[in-house]
Amino acid sequence: MKTAILFSGGKDSCYAAYLAKQAGHELTCLISIISENPESYMFHTPNIHLVEKQAKKMGLPIIVQTTKGKKEIELKDLEKAIKKAKEKYQIKAIVTGALHSVYQTSRIQKICDKLDLECFNPLWQKNEFEYLNELIKNRFKIIITGVFAYPLDKSWLGKVINKKFIEQIKELNKEYKIHPAGEGGEFETFVLDCPLFKKPLEIKNKKISGEENSWKMEIELK
pLDDT confidence band for 39 (50 / 70 / 90): low
pLDDT confidence band for 37 (50 / 70 / 90): confident
How high is the pLDDT of residue 96? 97
Task: Give the whole-angstrom CA distance, residue 197 versus residue 53.
Answer: 10
pLDDT confidence band for 40 (50 / 70 / 90): low
Mean of pLDDT over the chain: 94
* pLDDT tens digits, one per residue of 127-163: 999 999 999 999 999 999 999 999 999 999 999 999 9
Angle, helices 163-176 vs 128-137, to 10°: value is: 170
Whether the predicted model's global pTM rises above the 0.85 cut? yes
How high is the pLDDT of residue 206? 95
Whether the CB-CB separation of 201 and 192 falls below 8 Å is answered with yes
* pLDDT tens digits, one per residue of 106-121: 999 999 999 999 999 9
Please, where in the chain does CATH 3.40.50.620 lie?
2-120
How high is the pLDDT of residue 73? 79
Share of the chain above pLDDT 70, in %: 96
Q: Which CATH architecture has domain 2-120?
A: 3-Layer(aba) Sandwich (3.40)
Task: Give the whole-angstrom CA distance, residue 132 versus residue 105.
Answer: 21
CA angle 186, 74, 99 (to 5 degrees): 40
What is 128-221's CATH topology? putative n-type atp pyrophosphatase, domain 2 (3.90.1490)
Please, where in the chain does CATH 3.90.1490.10 lie?
128-221
User: Nearest CA to 191 among 143, 150, 156, 130?
Assistant: 143
Q: Which residue has the higher pLDDT, 41 or 211?
A: 211
How high is the pLDDT of residue 44? 62
How high is the pLDDT of residue 41? 59
CB atoms within 10 A of CB 213: 15
